[in-house]
Amino acid sequence: MELYRLLQQQGFGSRKECRKLVEYGLVEINGEVAEDYRQEYLPADIEELVVDGEPWPLQDGAIYLLLHKPDGYETSHKPMHHPSVYTLLPWQFGNLGISAVGRLDVDTTGLLLLTNDGQFVHALSSPKRHVPKCYEVTLKHPVLDDLVRHLLAGVFLKDDNEKIAADQVEVVDEITIRMTITQGKYHQVKRMVAAAGNRVMDLHRLSVGSVVLGDLDEGQWRYLEADELASFGFGPDK
Ligand code: URA
């Protein structure tokens, strides 16, 4: 593949922009400045790609990411009042069709999955799949047995005729619970807690399926590991 096309495929912009990157001497391949944007390369030939001084790991196939979403970011490509979570990722991903798998509210922190694989988004968002999502919930009022009982038995949300229940509720301390849900309704945790007579002050997502946030710093991202992808039934052999 010609170099400028390869750069385009990696998210570096339009054909013209990618040609310019090479013409301006900003592209290094395996330690050498590339001179000809028409030079043919196979991705396998490229051990090291550096563009404008920044090493770029070659993207091969679909991309799956995990971001530790901070407070004050909108899960939207067109944010209204706050910066977008996509500004926390390398800008090249913006040209590769990366989107979040579901949304977290602007004030919710924690684990957010992102991908450019539409089937992955669809599979994980499907209500039939019941992917468990675990949240740490800080409450306004101390936890009462009643709250836990209500959440587990199911509560009615406004405009919904069906009862909706948490799968698990663990009391962490006087004002903190860990709550696992398998649906993905709008403001679901906040609305469930409100319907059970308390109020969410802070919401932090710890895990989706068996993928955990771990000690990734706020605002940081990483690629999903092969075994994490496989745990959702995705990956090279699936
Ligand atoms: N439930 C909520 O209420 N908000 C979120 O961001 C996620 C789940």
Q: How confident is the model at residue 238 (pLDDT cuts 50, 70, 90)?
A: low
Q: How far is CA 141 from CA 105, 106, 146, 198, in A?
A: 21, 22, 12, 6
147 and 194, same domain (yes or no): yes
Residue nearest to atom 3 of ligand 1 (CA): 187
pLDDT at 140 over 90: yes
Q: Which residues, including other chains, have CB under 8 Å from residue 6's CB and lie 6 or more apart?
A: 41, 43, 46
Has 107 been annotated as catalytic? no
pLDDT digit string (tens) for 23-34? 999 999 999 999
Predicted model pTM? 0.90
188 and 140, same domain (yes or no): yes
Q: What is the mean pLDDT of residues 69-80?
A: 96
Q: Distance, CA 106 to ligand 1 centroid (Å)?
A: 9
Nearest CA to 190 among 229, 144, 222, 158? Answer: 158
Residues within a 6 A CB radius of ligand 1? 104-105, 108, 187-190, 203
Q: Distance, CA 129 to ligand 1 centroid (Å)?
A: 18
Domain count, the chain: 3
Query: Residue 90: its pLDDT value, please?
Result: 92
92 and 199, same domain (yes or no): no
CATH of the domain at 75: 3.30.70.580
DSSP assignments along the chain, one per residue: -BHHHHHHHTT---HHHHHHHHHTT-EEETTEE---TT-B--GGG-S-EEETTEE-PPP-S--EEEEEEPTT-BSSSS-SSS-BGGGGS-GGGGGGT-EESS---TTEEEEEEEES-HHHHHHHH-TTT---EEEEEEESS---HHHHHHHHH-EEPTT--SEE--SEEEEEETTEEEEEES---TTHHHHHHHHTT--EEEEEEEEETTEE-TTPPTT-EEEPPHHHHHHTT-STT-
Which amino acid does the sequence have at 50? V
% residues pLDDT > 70 (the chain): 99
Please tell me the distance from the alpha carbon of residue 179 to that of residue 71, in angstroms, as a whole number.
19
pLDDT at 43 over 90: no
Q: What is the mean pLDDT of residues 166-174?
A: 97
Query: Residue 162: its pLDDT value, please?
Result: 86
Domain that holds residue 25: 3-55
CATH of the domain at 28: 3.10.290.10
Q: Is residue 238 part of a domain?
A: no
Q: How far is CA 73 from CA 31, 49, 88, 122, in A?
A: 37, 31, 9, 23
